[in-house]
Chain A
Amino acid sequence: MSGMMEGLNEKAVRLNVPLSAHLDITYRCNERCVHCYLDHDDHGELTFDEIRDLLSQMAEAGVLFLTISGGEPLLRKDLFDIIRHARDLTFHVKLKTNAILIREKEAALIRELGLGSIQISIYSHRPEIHDAITKIHGSLSRSIAAIKFLVSQNLKVTVANVLMRQNPMDYRGVKALAAELGAGFTFDPTITPHINGDRSLLNLNISRRDLRKVMHDESLVGDVAEYCAPPVPVSDEVLDELPCSAGNSSCYVSPYGEVYPCVQFPLPSGNIRNQKFLEIWTNSPQLQEVRSIRLRDLTVCPGCSHVGSCSRCPGLAYMEGNLRGPSTADCEKSYARTGIPSANMLRLQRVPTD
């Protein structure tokens, strides 16, 4: 995060303003990705009128950065009306999509509407791998065609590469593909549990060995010596910091109006079909509890050497059963970076022998 964005975020936290919001407008999807954490049926999505009202409430509450995603958001025929309304309300809009429904016409419309960025999921530069993950034949070539249409409109496109057992080392090819297409690149080595709590998807996480390789790849992390340096002891003040912006300056709204601290933190905190957005943001006991938690309040992490540098996700911790507990996936990342086991790994005697 840039210094300016960090400053804005800190100010939003201080003023209790939801500066960022992620809105999934549908869980329906035209791909069937093997690692997806969503249920793709429609259980009663917010109508266009409900979304329009929600966006007005969000603008009033102070939301500036709006991520619109799904499922596949282009499956909603009113997507561009939703974006148009969001832009009329002067949101900064980021669209997350697989892009296979984006052609020249849609790309031109996206440009006209003034989107800030478009993030497109690409799993591999090899069609046989990408298409096997999405379970849609031809999906890679369609997504690539869409990126070309969008880039030709001078739009900011980022290719997002989720790493899993099927594609652990394809990120190099995806990164090169993104560069060739004129797009940015980001990667994520974390598979999340299904939103219904099923944790079997975690079997798709890349191996420890591959995670270590990824974390030591200069092309991804920059200065490896700095990125992978052993953790340094932290001052007491660090323990007074917030663990994450989720619920503090950002939140998530599902296609059914449910409000969570984050898309990866499915703690039910209210529903905009029953309450005003700002009322939920301000008064929800769940969000208030999330906001009350400082690093020192966590169950295991304050005594961990990684506490000052860990990427601990409170949502993943919550899905492990305790929102104040450790997030095993992030313990693994800290270990992969530094070779030093986390306090949680030592506690559970999960110290690697490989």
Chain B
Amino acid sequence: MNDKYVKASRDTAARMLGGEMIVMSVKDSRVFTLNATASRIWKAADGYTPLREIVANEVVPEFEVDTDVAYQDAVELVEELAQEGILLIADHAIALSNEEEDA
């Protein structure tokens, strides 16, 4: 099964505030507040760790959820964030530079 690779868009600013990741699109100043699970995925979204591995390492142990359910939820989440233009998704590792073109 193909995995997904995720990476924050270069056009975002982000910081943890009180256990939630605050993400701002620098293009249009929209602000997104990610919950604890989404914040963990965001922080681990380095472009080369497969999403399944991120979920297994960051979400499942912390929130004691079923791996497949957690992965499906994560896929929905990253697709939603990608639609908002703040996260890049690819079916291969995303390069450190020129990531917008690669995704």
Q: Is there an interface contact between B31 and A11, defined as CB atoms closer than 8 Å? A: no
With A114-B26, A116-B24 given, is the CB distance from A15 to B17 under 8 Å?
Answer: yes
From A59-67, A139-147, A214-222, A255-263, the one touching the partner chain is A59-67
Q: Is there an interface contact between B29 and A12, defined as CB atoms closer than 8 Å? A: no
- The answer, yes or no, to whether B8 is at the interface (CB within 8 Å) is yes
- The answer, yes or no, to whether B12 is at the interface (CB within 8 Å) is yes
> Which residue of chain B has its CB nearest to the CB of A64?
B15
- The answer, yes or no, to whether A207 is at the interface (CB within 8 Å) is no
With A64-B24, A114-B26, A116-B29 given, is the CB distance from A12 to B17 under 8 Å?
Answer: yes
Other-chain contact of A63, B11, B15, B27, B31 (Cβ < 8 Å) = B15
Q: How large is the interface on B (under 10, 10 to 19, 20 to 34, 35 or more residues)?
A: 10 to 19
> Which residue of chain B has its CB nearest to the CB of A61?
B15
Q: Is there an interface contact between A11 and B18, defined as CB atoms closer than 8 Å? A: yes
From 8 to 37 in chain B, residues with beta carbon under 8 angstroms from any chain A beta carbon are 8, 10-18, 22, 24, 26-27, 29, 31
Q: Is there an interface contact between A64 and B11, defined as CB atoms closer than 8 Å? A: no
- The answer, yes or no, to whether A4 is at the interface (CB within 8 Å) is yes
Contacts of B8 in A (CB 8 A): 90
Q: Is there an interface contact between A62 and B24, defined as CB atoms closer than 8 Å? A: no
> Which residue of chain A has its CB nearest to the CB of B23?
A90
Contacts of A12 in B (CB 8 A): 17
> Which residue of chain A has its CB nearest to the CB of B10?
A114
Query: How many contacting A-B pairs (Cβ < 8 A)?
Result: 49
Contacts of A93 in B (CB 8 A): 13
Q: Is there an interface contact between B22 and A64, defined as CB atoms closer than 8 Å? A: yes
Contacts of B10 in A (CB 8 A): 87, 114
With A5-B31, A15-B18, A64-B17 given, is the CB distance from A90 to B26 under 8 Å?
Answer: no
Contacts of A11 in B (CB 8 A): 17-18
The docked-state distance in angstroms from the alpha carbon of A93 to that of B15 is 13
With A90-B8, A114-B10 given, is the CB distance from A62 to B15 under 8 Å?
Answer: yes
> Which residue of chain B has its CB nearest to the CB of A5?
B31
* Mask: chain A, 19-63; 1 = CB below 8 Å from B; 0 = not: 100000000000000000000000000000000000000010011
Contacts of A346 in B (CB 8 A): none
Which of A19, A65, A92 has the most B CB atoms < 10 Å from its CB?
A92
Q: Is there an interface contact between B17 and A90, defined as CB atoms closer than 8 Å? A: no
The docked-state distance in angstroms from the alpha carbon of A8 to that of B14 is 13
Contacts of B13 in A (CB 8 A): 64-65, 90-93, 116
The docked-state distance in angstroms from the alpha carbon of A258 to that of B31 is 31
The docked-state distance in angstroms from the alpha carbon of A169 to that of B15 is 41
The docked-state distance in angstroms from the alpha carbon of A114 to that of B17 is 22
The docked-state distance in angstroms from the alpha carbon of A177 to that of B90 is 43
Q: A residues touching B (Cβ–Cβ < 8 Å)?
A: 4-5, 8, 11-12, 14-15, 17, 19, 59, 62-65, 87, 90-93, 114-116, 154, 156
